[in-house]
Copies of this chain bind each other. A is one copy, B any other.
Amino acid sequence: MQISARELSQLLNGTVEGNPDVTVNGPSKIEEGTPGTISFLANPKYESYAYQTKASILLVSKTFKPSHPITATLIRVENVYAAVAFLLEKFNQEHQPKKGVATETAIHEDVQLGDNTSVGIYAVIESGVSIGADTIIYPQVYIGKNVKVGKNVILYPGVKIYHGCEIGDNCILHANVIIGSDGFGFLPDSDGKFKKIPQIGNVIVEANVEIGANTVIDRATMGSTVLKAGVKLDNLIQVAHNVEIGENTAIAAQAGIAGSTKIGKNCLIGGQAGFVGHIKVADGSKVQAQSGVAASIKEPGKAVYGSPALPYGDYLKAYAVFKQLPTINRQIRALEREIAQLKAQGFNKNKS
């Protein structure tokens, strides 16, 4: 989308200072502004960038008074933040896929599709599925038998949902997310071979959940693996069978949660963190990146760090000493020598 300063100022109900014919194809951060983009000055502390930015258009407040020359065309608006939000949405819309159901798809005849739902080409929707209104299913998605998908959901290309799982309203599942693969459950026999335990539960993803690319949520052995409303998961995360993640908990990339663990609500989990199975993590817990949570966290709102994880401050204090261990080791050797000397002196004195 190429759009001119003149057109933008009309959309934003603003006024142009400079060349109204200059065009842009997207927004940029003011410190990274490049020709062909529109940048914005909302926070006065970034004002110095206004005089350096290479953005073609700069969105500023009606009241902004530059103290140096600015090369960008200015668009002045009443409320810069509101204008930026409007622009982000506008530039974001242009990639929306084609509306409607593609001609080449494999949608079972008993599938219930909501109004205004789009299904991309080469998507597969098996028997017994229901899809809510306004949902967008990109090409190459697979939806297994008896899955329920809510309203206003986006399933990006390559998403695979196994049979019997449920996806709530307004969820976003990024490319190649896997929902409902078998939990990792085996019984060893007497000669060390494993027998598979059928995994016949499902996954329930409640409303307003976003799941990052290539993340995997395993189905429960029995019952459900549950992501509660508002959970946000980053990319490449592992959620094992029968895990539950509480409302509005956010988890960064590559974290992993072992079977049957219950994470509370409003937790913040860092990247590459790991949780053993069958523990409970209290609401509002903060888990530092790469930590290994090996036991339940019982008190809400606490931060932990380390593998196995300790209270955050305790880990940092211990690690500060860890760094000095070679020095400390030498100090202990020195103490040993000094005590040996003192004892020798004492011995000599006793003898004398």
- Which residues in A have some Cβ–Cβ distance to B below 8 Å? 26-29, 32, 34, 88-89, 91-92, 94-95, 97, 102, 104, 106, 120-122, 124, 126, 138-140, 142, 144-146, 156-158, 160, 162-164, 172, 174-176, 178, 181-182, 184, 186, 188, 192-194, 196-201, 208, 210, 212-214, 216, 218, 222-223, 230, 232, 234-236, 238, 240, 247-248, 250, 252-254, 256, 258, 265-266, 271-272, 274, 276, 289-290, 292, 307-308, 310, 314, 317-326, 328-329, 331-332, 335-336, 338-339, 342-343, 345-346
Contact A307/B292 with A104-B106, A214-B176, A318-B322 known, Cβ cut-off 8 Å: no
Interchain CB contact under 8 A, B342 and A213:
no
Contact A248/B192 with A124-B122, A307-B290, A326-B321 known, Cβ cut-off 8 Å: yes
Partner of A254, one of B104, B254, B321: B254
A253 to chain B, nearest CB (A): 4
A112 to chain B, nearest CB (A): 18
Interchain CB contact under 8 A, A175 and B198:
no
The CA of A247 and the CA of B258, in the complex, are separated in Å by 23
Interchain CB contact under 8 A, A339 and B339:
yes
Look across to chain B and name the residue whose beta carbon is closest to the beta carbon of A210.
B196
Interchain CB contact under 8 A, A253 and B240:
yes
Interface centre among A162, A238, A308 (most CB of B within 10 A): A238
The contact sample of 25 A-B pairs, CB cut-off 8 A, is A26-B200, A32-B223, A91-B200, A92-B198, A95-B145, A106-B121, A122-B124, A122-B140, A124-B139, A156-B181, A157-B160, A174-B181, A175-B181, A181-B235, A182-B212, A184-B235, A184-B253, A192-B248, A212-B216, A214-B214, A238-B271, A253-B256, A254-B256, A256-B271, A289-B292
The CA of A253 and the CA of B156, in the complex, are separated in Å by 24
Interchain CB contact under 8 A, A212 and B234:
no
Look across to chain B and name the residue whose beta carbon is closest to the beta carbon of A266.
B192
Residues of B within 8 A of A325 (CB): 317-318, 321-322, 325
7 shortest A-B CB distances, which residue pairs?
A: A95-B163, A321-B325, A142-B157, A181-B213, A238-B253, A160-B175, A178-B213
A277 to chain B, nearest CB (A): 9
Contact A176/B174 with A156-B160, A342-B343 known, Cβ cut-off 8 Å: no
Interchain CB contact under 8 A, A346 and B343:
no
The CA of A196 and the CA of B172, in the complex, are separated in Å by 11
Residues of B within 8 A of A178 (CB): 174-176, 213-214, 235
Partner of A338, one of B120, B160, B339: B339
Interchain CB contact under 8 A, A329 and B328:
yes
Interchain CB contact under 8 A, A184 and B252:
yes
Contact A319/B308 with A196-B210, A198-B89, A238-B236 known, Cβ cut-off 8 Å: yes
The CA of A52 and the CA of B282, in the complex, are separated in Å by 25
Interchain CB contact under 8 A, A184 and B212:
yes
A161 to chain B, nearest CB (A): 9
The CA of A44 and the CA of B326, in the complex, are separated in Å by 43
A237 to chain B, nearest CB (A): 8
